[in-house]
Each structure stands twice: as structure tokens, then as C-alpha cells.
Amino acid sequence: MGDLDQSLKRLIQMRPQDWLAFALRDTPVEYLGIAQIDLATEPPMQVDSFLRVRYQGAECLVDIEAQAEADTTMGWRLYKYAGRASAIFDLPVISVVLWLERHGRIPTSTHEIRMGDWLSGTWSYKSIEVYRLQAAELLALGEHGALGLLPLVPLTQDGGALEATEDAGRILQAQTSGEELASLATLLGILASRHIDRDLADMLVRRLVMSNELLETSPLYQKWAHDWLEQGLEQGRIEGERESVRRFLQARFGALSTELELAITQADRSALDAVLPHMGDESPEQLLARLTGAAPQN
């Protein structure tokens, strides 16, 4: 799941009616509140709240899950979430999955519970492939008040360009203010940063909010800034280790082969840790094997 899915969970809980109208469109849905699960008395579960709604006149719960990549266990997970929530609240559950990015083949939206040839039951859920949507569709919904959907624009089929993100930002700026604008603009920036430069996304957020004081007191923005700093520091440490490995090996062997240079440039933390103890006594071929994960040659 990760930060992307958690960002979407925040969005759903900020403006639930927008998401209900989007996920269950063409059907009367009245939002009644959050059905919060007491995690102190219940075993941990992936979701900790459901939307309590009245769907076509009948009260029920709606579980909207944001999924960054294909997961063959999704149906089983939804079935388990729904079963526990239904038992706790004594209400039926509607399950919806937002598939955010194209990563593999998504499962069919009816999950079968089988033991051999025995069909114990099925669990049906609704799938929405966000990456297949057009940016214009979400922008139009945002223009008509569904502002909670606008941070999704960068994930749409044609929404990865800066122009689409700026269009979403203009709508947010025109129709929101204060903490709501800061939160929605930050989430827009978080999702946009998957396609555009992070500094550019941050500048966009600041331009939309136009209040450094508001951003400085926004927990969501501060978490984003902190996570980015931590990622930057970690990346800086890795780059430093790569350069140390490169200089040490150049001192031992002189000019390095193209393959070894590339392996050092692409090495992650685990690969660097694996090669460090052997830099003083192994051959370039053996070190290359360690950096690329191949079996070292004796």
C-alpha cells in the first residue's frame, strides 16, 4: 500500500460524499458518518474506519480501498474486512477498490471462496481503474463541487503533465480556502510528485496556498516535507557510499570497466553492504558479481 494509498485514505475521509458519489454514481447515496472500529478491542486490520451510508434507502457500510498495484489477494482481503465490520456494526458492506496505477493485471471483481471444487461463497466488489480515466472527467466533477477527487488528476491516463495538475489546483484555489485548501493542495502535490519533479510539486502547493504560516501548521504538509527530507538524506548517504566504493576501487584497479561503473551507480544499500567487506581482496569480476546479485566467482 504505502504512502500513496494512505494519502488516498486521508482524502476519502476528508470529503466522503465526493467519493461516494464517484464510486457509486447514478445511485442515491446519503453519507451518515464514519463507522470507527475500536482497535483497542479488535485485532489489527488494514482499514480502521468505514463510511456509514444510506444506499437506496437501506443503511449499510462502504469500504473504499485505494490500491497502488495489482494484488491477487484483494478479493479475499475485502471479504475479511467486510466480514469483521459487518459483525461489529451488524450492517452489510459494499466494497469498492480504486486501482491507482497500471501495475500488472487486476483481479476480477467477484472473489470466489473455494476449497478444492467446493464453492463456499463469493464476494462481489466494484473496481475503478483510475489510470484509465481522463483528467477532464475529474476536473469537470471538481468544477461541480466534488473537490475531493481533484488530487487524483495526476494519476489519470492523461493527467501526469504539469498542466493538468495546475488546472486541478486552480479549481481548488477558487472553491476552497484555509485548512481545507492546504490539505487538498498538499495531497495534489503528493500525487503529482509521482510524475513531476518534487521541487516543482512543492512550489505548486506553496503557490496555491500562498500562506507559509498555514503550511507550517498543516500536519499533512509537514509530514510530506519530513518524509521528503528523510528520503533525501537516505539517498545522499547511498550516493556517498557509491562514491566511496568507486574511489577505492579506482585506487586499486585504475580505470573501472563500464559494467562495474554501472553496477556501482545502480547499487542499492544492500548491494553496497554486501560488497564493502570484500573490496580489498576480491577481483573486479567478483565485486561485479556481488553488486549485481550474481554468485561471486572464486
CA distances from 227 to 88, 116, 220, 223 (A): 35, 46, 11, 6
Q: Tell me: the pLDDT tens digits for 61-77?
A: 999 988 888 888 899 99
Q: Tell me: the pLDDT tens digits for 248-279?
A: 899 899 999 989 999 998 888 788 888 888 88
Domain ranges in the chain? 2-132, 135-217, 238-292
Q: What DSSP letter does each residue of 16-64 carry, written as one string?
A: HHHHHHHHTTTS-EEEEEEEE--TTTS---S--EEEEEEETTEEEEEEE
CA distances from 83 to 19, 40, 63 (A): 22, 18, 11
Phi, psi of 45, deg, nearest 5: -140, 160
User: Residue 58: what pLDDT?
Assistant: 94
Strands 49-55 and 29-36: antiparallel
Q: Is the pTM higher than 0.85?
A: no
Q: Tell me: the pLDDT tens digits for 230-250?
A: 666 566 667 777 888 888 899
Confidence label for 193 from pLDDT (cuts 50, 70 and 90): confident
Q: Tell me: the pLDDT tens digits for 53-62?
A: 999 999 999 9
E strand or H helix that includes residue 119: strand 118-124
User: Residue 39: what pLDDT?
Assistant: 44
Choice between 267 and 41, residue whose per-residue pLDDT is larger: 267
